Amino acid sequence: MKIGFIGLGIMGKPMAKNLIRAGHELVVFDFNKAAVEELVGCGAQAADSSKAVAVACRVVITMVPNSPHVKAAVMGEGGVLEGAKAGDILIDMSSIAPLASQEVYKACKEKGVRMIDAPVSGGQPKAIDGSLSIMVGGDEDTFKEVYDILMVMGSSAVYCGASGAGNTTKLANQVIVAVNIAALSEGLMLAAKAGVDPEKVFNAIKGGLAGSTVMNAKAPMMIAHTFEPGFRIDLHIKDLNNALETGHSVGAPLPLTAYVQEILENLHFAGEGSSDHSAIAKYYEKMAGSEIKFEG
């Protein structure tokens, strides 16, 4: 199938490559010309605008940073809706505010374009190996129609409800991940300051109730003090801003989210915005005056 792909960043580029490996014909667009050239080298066709992508393809995927970027790519000048035809499908896999997703959905519907919001979880490693978790909002029939495409990029794709439900689910995911990483940092710092090897603590508890995918992924990074990004702090700040905004609009209390957001903002202004979100551990190290490591 010929598929359009707009947004070839840290997540979009490996997702697009997986579609090519699966035998799909891709037409791609990004303002980063080097990323476009890399995909062309993998067999994709380059387009000069989001509109041109939509003209060439009946199914278009967008994977861009935030709500304004999705609106520009879809509804703006030279956007998807200028080139799309009635019956076409837009799959927005960006992580954006649910209200923004519903706004884009409405604009698509007015032109007869079918849209689902399908944000992902798993970070760059799972984007590379095609094992992302995909959460979907919009028309269920459209979800079923593109399910096989989604499963090229993910190990699961779950329909969550009407337009915006996918992004609401993603925000819940990001809240849980952020608070989990902060709690993990606290626990490992407690162990280190008490003179117990954090690595032994991790190995002892990872199979119990405290164990989680987050712990398995992030504890080794904290212990080794390697914070190369799988998911950048600045992107998590964006997601938690959307979560807090959504929480305020629906009356959902998010006090733990607000606290972790302050930690992330502190790290951003300390120059850690491009570090992996496991660098939340650095906030605790600064507060404790020592690193998460065994001093015994």
What pLDDT was estimated at residue 296? 67
What pLDDT was estimated at residue 267? 98
What pLDDT was estimated at residue 229? 86
Rounded CA separation 13/47 (Å): 15
263 contacts 116 by C-beta, under 8 angstroms: no
Partner residues linked to 136 by β-bridges? 159
- Residue 261, judged by CB atoms within 10 A of its CB (0-12, 13-18, 19+), counts as buried
Which two structure tokens, joined as six digits, stand for 6? 């707009």
Q: How do strand 114-117 and strand 132-138 relate by DSSP bridges?
A: antiparallel
Q: Which pLDDT tens digits describe the chain residue by residue (296 residues)? A: 999 999 999 999 999 999 999 999 999 999 999 999 999 999 999 999 999 999 999 999 999 999 999 999 999 999 999 999 999 999 999 999 999 999 999 999 999 999 999 999 988 889 999 999 999 999 999 999 999 999 999 999 999 999 999 999 999 999 999 999 999 999 999 999 999 999 999 999 999 999 999 999 999 999 999 999 888 999 999 999 999 999 999 999 999 999 999 999 999 999 999 999 999 999 999 999 999 988 76
* pTM assigned to the model: 0.92
85 is catalytic: no
What pLDDT was estimated at residue 289? 96
Transcribe the chain into DSSP letters: -EEEEE--STTHHHHHHHHHHTT-EEEEE-S-HHHHHHHHHTT-EE-SSHHHHHHH-SEEEE--SSHHHHHHHHHSTT-HHHH--TT-EEEE-S---HHHHHHHHHHHHHTT-EEEE--EESHHHHHHHT-EEEEEEE-HHHHHHHHHHHHHHEEEEEEEESTTHHHHHHHHHHHHHHHHHHHHHHHHHHHHHTT--HHHHHHHHTTSTT--HHHHHHHHHHHHT----SSBHHHHHHHHHHHHHHHHHHT---HHHHHHHHHHHHHIIIIITTSBGGGHHHHHHHHHTS-SS---
State the chain's maximal CA–CA distance in angstroms.
Answer: 67
Among residues 17, 51, 170, 282, the one annotated as catalytic is: 170
What pLDDT was estimated at residue 294? 81
